[in-house]
Amino acid sequence: MKPYELTATAASAAIRAGEISPVELVDSVLDRIEQVEPQLGAYVAVTADQARNAARAAEHEIAAGRSRGPLHGIPMGLKDLIDVTGLATTASSRVRATHRAEADSAVAARLDAAGAILLGKTHTHEFAYGLITPQTRNATDPTRIAGGSSGGSAVAVAAGAATFAVGTDTGGSIRVPAALNGVVGLKPTYGRVSRHGVVPLSWSLDHVGPITRTVADADLVLNALSGYDSRDPASVPTPAEDRQESDLTRLRVGVPTNYYFDHVDPEVTAAVRQGIEQLRDLGAQLVDVEIPMTRYIKAIQWGLMVPEASSYHEQTLRTAGEHYGDDVRLFLEAGELLSAGDYLRAQRARTLMRRAWAEMLAEVDVLAAPAVPMTAVPVGQETVTWPDGTSEAVADAYVRLAAPANITGVPALSLPVGQDRMGLPIGMQLLGHPFGEGTVLRTGRAYEQAAAVVPA
């Protein structure tokens, strides 16, 4: 096995055991980037020289007994919404082509303190306003979409062009590309990870979280990212959790009887239901649950996201509107047409939905469902037609099963549970109680260990 194929957990153990050095690991991943980047387009920019310098410094520190923790010497990518001092944060947009960050974001600072090594900035759908990431191609089949908006981060991890990466999630933008590329994506609870220094899309829906190869890796990265930050108004102090237990004997897994399995590809349904049965075999109790307020989910998601995004871009839309892509500019202009009353109604409906979800989740420990309704579609496909003859926009289909976790703020994990007949990855989603990442992660870890889907 080549170093770039190692999981973060395995690479960390190998570095501590002296079996591999940070320099060897970083060089291997940089070579892999050079090999696959022309075909996949995961990166906006690669900071190879800085990464090699950081790897040499990490090697000396670890050899001198000054390890900063399990991520010390581990190479990673950051979505190009996340500020790093001196580097461009373009949001994959011509609008910010000349931008340079004057300070580290909270996320970059915490990862630097943990000793992680930045390889570069990964592509996003422009300003994270989309579920495709058109600059990037799927790691399994480059004729298909990467998913978005954290498509570059997910593809980099899946292709071995980063040992882990960080993305953002406003309507599924971590979980959708993770599912479509066969990796793990975690949207933490709203308020757990600081968004200071991260270009926003929608302040009340945005989350920052890890994309990794395994659930154990996601746990490692979440530990580094988490922490109260007074600079983020949504940040919440949270106690440390014990996430080592893997016994699911008394775990109650909610299985939706509505919404999450509606208009879902049969192969996705079969793989996810098989994954749920695996949880039962591990001792979990399956509990049927009804998802509340489903008819309002799309209206709430768009009623919050569209005006909040337009508010952030109000000035640049007028001074540099010609630099936006057509799709993003259309959304931003449309957002200015929504009234304050519409926005307030969406906020009130969100409050009701949060209460309804709290009542539903009181009956279970986690909820298990598909992460996305279908696997990665070919580049350029705009609609999907379901067996009942109804059609749906591809972006609407991908956001549909992800949006509830953004509206309610609950943690949600996407992990691979199989492939369709074309070999395209299928993802299962585990959703938990607010700040219940411990339960979500141990459930996912138990599944992947039992299903023998964990890479080295």
Q: Which residues are the active-site residues?
A: 79, 149, 173
**Taken in order 365, 207, 179, 437, is the CA torsion positive or negative?**
negative
Q: How far apart are CA 206 and CA 190, in angstroms?
A: 8
The pair phi, psi for residue 225, each rounded to 5°, is: -80, -30
The pair phi, psi for residue 209, each rounded to 5°, is: -160, 175
DSSP secondary structure string for all residues of 227-264: ---TTSTT--------------TT-EEEEESSSTTTT-
What is the four-CA torsion angle of 153, 315, 350, 190, rounded to 10 degrees? Answer: 40
* Contact call for residues 66 and 51 (beta carbons, < 8 A): no
For residue 249, with 0-12 CB atoms within 10 Å meaning exposed, 13-18 middle and 19 or more buried, which class applies? exposed
89: left (phi over 0), alpha (psi -120 to 50) or beta: beta
Q: How far apart are CA 159 and CA 20, in angstroms?
A: 20
* Contact call for residues 179 and 186 (beta carbons, < 8 A): no
* Contact call for residues 314 and 200 (beta carbons, < 8 A): no
Q: How many residues does the chain have?
A: 456
For tokens 């757990």, name the residue.
192
Q: Across 125-258, where does the E strand assignment appear?
A: 164-169, 184-187, 207-212, 252-256
DSSP secondary structure string for all residues of 393-409: EHHHHHHHTTHHHHHH-
CA-wise closest residue to 235 among 267, 202, 189:
189
In single-letter form, the type of residue at position 34 comes to E
For tokens 């953004």, name the residue.
406
Give Cα 141 distance to the centre of its chain: 20
Collapse the DSSP code of 375 into the 3-class scheme (helix H, G, I; strand E, B; otherwise coil) and give the result.
Answer: coil
